[in-house]
Amino acid sequence: MLHKAIFIYFAAVCIGSALLMITRRNPVHSVLFMLLLFFHIAGLFVLLNAEFLAAVQLIVYAGAILILYLFVVMLLNVDRESAAPRANRYWPWLTLFGLLISAEISFLVLRGSFPADAGQQPMTLAVGSVRDLGIELYTKYLVPFEIASVILLVGLVGAVMLAKKIKD
């Protein structure tokens, strides 16, 4: 029962922060709601016994991607007055479409038969283990891993070269 209550909390906060993120006019507030969303998604990963994915979620998304978004928002310095006006004529149609999709999902969930212990199966030690992931990554997938690291290095060097000011 406690597991379900914690899941409902994380899911409700994820949905609420996602809605607040896309409806705020201030971009900095949207980024802060995105941070809240990323933390609660990591909490959902912890509930699924995927601690490594939760750590990656926090490091990559909350740590790197979100900071990048925040820097871009602050560097662009978008004022409320200069922002494009919102198209309010589409809100009734979008609301109707969203309610229709929600009704369909609710109908399918209430009509469906789900086993009571779905997702509660005990995991083996080899599934989701960071040690086993590292062994697979550095033995079986060594070449793709190195190719990905070279691509990231080229992207980093390219970004530094583009950002570097040319001195006369």
Residue 31 neighbours by CB distance under 10 Å? 19
* Cα gap 2→8, rounded to integer Å: 10
Three-state SS at 111: helix
Among 57, 60, 47, residue whose Cα is nearest residue 10:
47
Q: Which two tokens stand for residue 67?
A: 């900071």
Res. 154: pLDDT tops 60: yes
* Residue 118 confidence class, pLDDT cut points 50, 70, 90: low
Q: Do residues 57 and 19 make contact, with C-beta atoms less than 8 angstroms apart? A: no
Among 137, 16, 29, residue whose Cα is nearest residue 80:
29
* Cα gap 132→46, rounded to integer Å: 18
What's the CATH fold of domain 1-78?
Four Helix Bundle (Hemerythrin (Met), subunit A) (1.20.120)
Cα dihedral sign for 97, 99, 105, 108?
Answer: negative
pTM of the model: 0.61
* Cα gap 37→15, rounded to integer Å: 8
* Cα gap 41→47, rounded to integer Å: 10
138 or 166, higher pLDDT: 138
Residue 37 neighbours by CB distance under 10 Å? 22
Each domain of the chain, given as residue ranges in start order, spans 1-78, 126-168
Average pLDDT, rounded, for the chain: 82
User: What are the helix (H) ranges across 24-166?
Assistant: 27-47, 51-56, 66-76, 91-111, 130-139, 142-163
Residue-wise pLDDT tens digits, 48-63 = 888 888 888 899 888 8
Res. 114: pLDDT tops 90: no
